[in-house]
């Protein structure tokens, strides 16, 4: 079999490209920004100066930097592009129009799919890093204008999650954050109509198992989305046999 080099590509085999916020958080396994969270190689690209504070403020001035970083990942050979913050939904439509590969910047993109799996009288519970910036505009950007069946619980008023993810003190107490995330999920499920949970923040897949154990509900997060898209752009080959 003959192989040819791709122009501008210096490494190969990284099917998923991930755009990162400019943050100082210790990303542990299970976090989108930890490469050990995947059973396949991924490629990272940081968007300089796009901080958590900036993304919470919906600072659209970073659109050119986002597009440039996405185009660079495409030139480097990735087959699909995601992000490490659900609030990157702000840039979803423009970035996907600027490249020729699938773009799925926000975990919120899963909302229409999740909705179709539930009864019409059930709701989706969303655990988010910060409630206030999770606006109708962001829901619309991911194709989910009918967000009246979404109930939301934020982590911005917690102690340990806020310190690590929002204040960026430089340390992360995973055991304490797990307790805070599970508590947030349980608060949502006190509404008996919740049929599934979506953990919006890229730090939260670490705690999805604990949330599921506590709530007994389907739990979606950034990694369920990334793994799903990876399975589409890197299909398995099966032998022609029983």
* pLDDT tops 80 at residue 146: no
Separation CA 107–CA 146 (nearest Å) = 17
Question: Any idea which of 5-19, 148-162, 179-193 has the lowest mean pLDDT?
Answer: 5-19
Whole-structure pTM value: 0.96
Q: How many CB atoms lie within 10 A of CB 199?
A: 29
Least Cα distance to 138 among 65, 204, 55 occurs for 55
The confidence band for 138, taking pLDDT boundaries of 50, 70 and 90, is: very high
Q: Give 159's DSSP letter.
A: S
Domains of the chain: 16-106+226-233 (3.40.50.1860), 108-221 (3.40.50.1860)
Instruction: Please count the CA atoms within 13 angstroms of the CA of 200 that sit on its side-chain side.
Output: 29
Least Cα distance to 28 among 182, 225, 209, 173 occurs for 173
């Amino acid at each position: 079999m003959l192989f040819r080099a791709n122009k501008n590509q210096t490494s190969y085999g990284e099917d998923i490209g991930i755009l990162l916020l400019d943050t100082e958080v210790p990303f542990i396994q299970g976090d989108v920004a930890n490469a050990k969270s995947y059973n396949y190689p991924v490629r990272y690209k940081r968007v300089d100066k796009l901080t958590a504070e900036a993304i919470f403020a919906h600072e659209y001035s970073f659109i050119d930097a986002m597009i440039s970083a996405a185009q660079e990942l495409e030139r480097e050979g990735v087959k699909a592009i995601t992000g490490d913050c659900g609030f990157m939904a702000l840039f979803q439509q423009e970035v996907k129009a600027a490249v020729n590969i699938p773009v799925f910047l926000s975990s919120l993109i899963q909302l229409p799919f999740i909705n179709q799996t539930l009864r019409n009288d059930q709701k989706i519970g969303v655990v988010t890093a910060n409630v206030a910036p999770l606006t109708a505009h962001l829901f619309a950007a991911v194709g989910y204008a009918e967000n009246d069946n979404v109930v939301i619980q934020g982590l911005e008023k917690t102690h340990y999650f806020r310190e690590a993810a929002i204040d960026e003190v430089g340390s992360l107490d995973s055991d304490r954050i797990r307790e805070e995330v599970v508590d947030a999920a349980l608060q949502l499920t006190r509404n008996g109509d919740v049929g599934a949970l979506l953990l919006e923040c890229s730090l939260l897949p670490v705690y999805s198992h604990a949330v599921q154990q506590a709530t007994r509900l389907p739990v979606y997060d950034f990694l369920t989305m990334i793994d799903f898209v990876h399975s589409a752009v890197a299909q398995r080959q099966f032998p022609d046999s029983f």
